[in-house]
Structure 1
Amino acid sequence: MNVVVTGTLGFDYIMDFSGRFADRIMPEKIHKLSLSFLVDTLSKQFGGTAGNVAYTLKLLGVEPVILAPAGHDFAPYQKFLRTKKISAKEIAVHRDVATSAYFVMTDMDDNQIGSFYIGATKYAKKLSIESVKQRPFAILGPTDPAAMKKYVTECCSIGVPYLYDPAFQIANFTPDELREGITGAAILIGNDYEIALIEERLGISHEELILMVPVLVTTIGRKGSVIETRHDAI
């Protein structure tokens, strides 16, 4: 089965800092923060929400179709997808901008400081799920909020069931926009913090959220996930 996967494509730059961020921050100078860290390791990986989901789906025997933009430096990522036999035919490559990138630094206490360069992701709203010929199911991962709203509208209009994963974009939607994305979805997924944030944004209880969507998946890190419907939970 083909699954349309939206979200971001990007390069992840992952760094490890052997100390503690807290030891470098002076609370009385927090109003004028200027910090620099000497990191011990740096790794560059293929990532992005769409790329990561597509890779995992392929491992599970599902055929992902990535619908996302990329930039002029996308060639090595494209080669990687080709070697993994992951379809890149719906990826739009823009020559005027670089592929999105995420830079993250982690200290010895697992605290993180990160920044995301939007790059080609700014063109995500130009893509359309309607243009994909085989679309029995879609995964709407976090990307440009305008694009996410468009994909929700398209899926509801043409009858494509979808998994909704607003993730780090939750705060960038109005309550009405969040509600529209959730009520139209077949599945809502988020970590425990994100699900709690959705409930706070909508002013509803967890029980009320369960009634809004057929399946609610809450990930809880190393402990796995809780999958809930109106009638059961596992």
Structure 2
Amino acid sequence: MRIAVTGSIATDHLMVFPGRFAEQLLKEQLERVSLSFLADRLEVRRGGVGANIAFGLGLLGLDPLLIGAAGLDFAEYGHWLREHGVDTGAVQVSDTLHTARFVCTTDQDQNQIATFYAGAMAEAAHIDLAAVTAGTAPALVLIGADDPAAMLRHTATAHRLNIPVAADPSQQLARLDGEQARRLVDGARWLFTNAYEAALLQERTGWSEQQILDRVGTWITTLGADGVTLARAGCPPLPVPAVPTGKIADPTGAGDAFRAGFLAGTAWQLPHERAAQLGCALATTVLESVGTQEYKLIPADLTARIEHTYGAGAARALEARIVRTL
């Protein structure tokens, strides 16, 4: 099962503020915030949700097709992705613009304030999903955060071609109007949000939780340290606890890693709960490294994490596939 991943390709500038944002925000002055946070660490890393998810799928041997727009500085990044199992043949490289930039500051409570510069991502809407997948239609297309026009175009094309869609609007929900949000979600086989995005999605679409569930296959909500919840219309929600860790280095990219693990599990035709457990194990692995693509997957480590959290049965169910892949 081949997965196409559409979404942003970016360079991450990750900073750490050794205090708490909440202590600097005055409730009565929120309408006119003007703050500067003195960071004590800066890491420049590869990122972008599309590239991050494709990277994780590549490590797991899925040969993902990355579809997105990058800048004239993409050569080294593209080589890195190909070395890690990602097909970059459908990446459109701009002649004039630089690759998008994600600038993020994290405080000591793991809260984040971020700014995203689109750069070459603005050209993603020029990509024709039908053309770049002609002859090798993927079994699934993930629509990740990207230029909004590209997200809408890719979604419409996938539905027209009868290719199942995993909708993952994430950060771009803030830029979408109600009609756009409804078009991205309606008919998706998988819907990914975090808890805040779940509430924002309901506000944007005007649909209740039940109305959204009636329009998608499975809605996966990530809950940070509380794990994830899988929900389907007519079924009780299925909670899956997170894989614990005592050494969080950087939360950036953990959600993307979960998506990669979960989608790999579904590609291997694992039960949804097992796929979510694999996703949670990958997410924790990323939490323990700085940057979104700096982690390594070691079969014994991954299996041990799964066994410690979910038991020997889960470890046995996943071990053969993990060892064979890695």
- Which is worse superposed, 118-127 or 105-114? 105-114
Superimposed CA distance per residue, residues 26-66 of structure 1 (whole angstroms, 9 cap, x where no aligned partner)? 77776665544332111111110101110111233322100
Partner AA of 1:122 in structure 2? A
User: Which of these residues, 125, 146, 155, is aligned with residue 152 of structure 1?
Assistant: 155
Tell me whether 1:174 sits opposite 2:180 in the alignment. no
Deviation of 1:107 (Å)? 2.0
Deviation of 1:124 (Å)? 0.6
- Which is worse superposed, 202-211 or 15-24? 15-24
Corresponding residue for 1:14?
14
Instruction: Report if aligned partners of 2:189, 2:217 keep a CA contact under 8 Å in 1.
Output: yes
Deviation of 1:228 (Å)? 1.6
Corresponding residue for 1:57?
57
Instruction: Report if aligned partners of 1:12, 1:101 keep a CA contact under 8 Å in 2.
Output: yes
Counterpart of 1:77 in 2: which secondary structure? helix
Tell me whether 1:229 sits opposite 2:232 in the alignment. yes
Counterpart of 1:62 in 2: which secondary structure? coil
Deviation of 1:109 (Å)? 3.0
Counterpart of 1:124 in 2: which secondary structure? helix
TM-score by length of 2: 0.67
**Higher strand proportion:** 1
Instruction: Report if aligned partners of 2:61, 2:85 keep a CA contact under 8 Å in 1.
Output: no
- Compared CA separation, residues 231 and 37, structure 1 to 2 (3 A): closer
Give the alignment of 1:7-156 within 5 angstroms: 7-22=7-22, 34-131=34-131, 132-133=133-134, 134=136, 135-156=138-159
Counterpart of 1:63 in 2: which secondary structure? coil
- Compared CA separation, residues 37 and 172, structure 1 to 2 (3 A): closer
Question: How far apart, in 2, do the equivalents of 1:31 and 1:210 lie?
Answer: 35
- Compared CA separation, residues 223 and 35, structure 1 to 2 (3 A): closer
Give 5+ residue unaligned stretches, structure 1. Answer: none
Question: How far apart, in 1, do the equivalents of 2:150 and 2:53 lie?
Answer: 18
Superimposed CA distance per residue, residues 108-142 of structure 1 (whole angstroms, 9 cap, x where no aligned partner)? 23332221111100001001110113222100001
Instruction: Report if aligned partners of 1:152, 1:184 keep a CA contact under 8 Å in 2.
Output: no
Question: How far apart, in 2, do the equivalents of 1:115 and 1:39 lie?
Answer: 15
Deviation of 1:103 (Å)? 0.7
Aligned CA RMSD, in angstroms, stands at 2.0
Question: How far apart, in 2, do the equivalents of 1:29 and 1:173 lie?
Answer: 27
- Which is worse superposed, 78-87 or 224-233? 224-233
Instruction: Report if aligned partners of 1:99, 1:121 keep a CA contact under 8 Å in 2.
Output: yes
Question: How far apart, in 2, do the equivalents of 1:141 and 1:108 lie?
Answer: 28
Question: How far apart, in 1, do the equivalents of 2:22 and 2:176 lie?
Answer: 32
Question: How far apart, in 1, do the equivalents of 2:113 and 2:35 lie?
Answer: 11
Counterpart of 2:229 in 1: which secondary structure? strand
- Which is worse superposed, 106-115 or 61-70? 106-115
- Compared CA separation, residues 34 and 202, structure 1 to 2 (3 A): closer
Corresponding residue for 1:189?
192
Corresponding residue for 1:209?
212
Counterpart of 2:15 in 1: which secondary structure? strand
Deviation of 1:203 (Å)? 2.7
TM-score by length of 1: 0.91
- Compared CA separation, residues 24 and 216, structure 1 to 2 (3 A): closer
Question: How far apart, in 2, do the equivalents of 1:19 and 1:121 lie?
Answer: 33
Corresponding residue for 1:218?
221
Question: How far apart, in 2, do the equivalents of 1:32 and 1:185 lie?
Answer: 39
- Compared CA separation, residues 27 and 191, structure 1 to 2 (3 A): closer
Superimposed CA distance per residue, residues 63-94 of structure 1 (whole angstroms, 9 cap, x where no aligned partner)? 21000011011122112112212111111111
Counterpart of 2:173 in 1: which secondary structure? helix
- Percentage of matched positions with identical amino acids: 33
Counterpart of 2:90 in 1: which secondary structure? coil
Corresponding residue for 1:161?
164
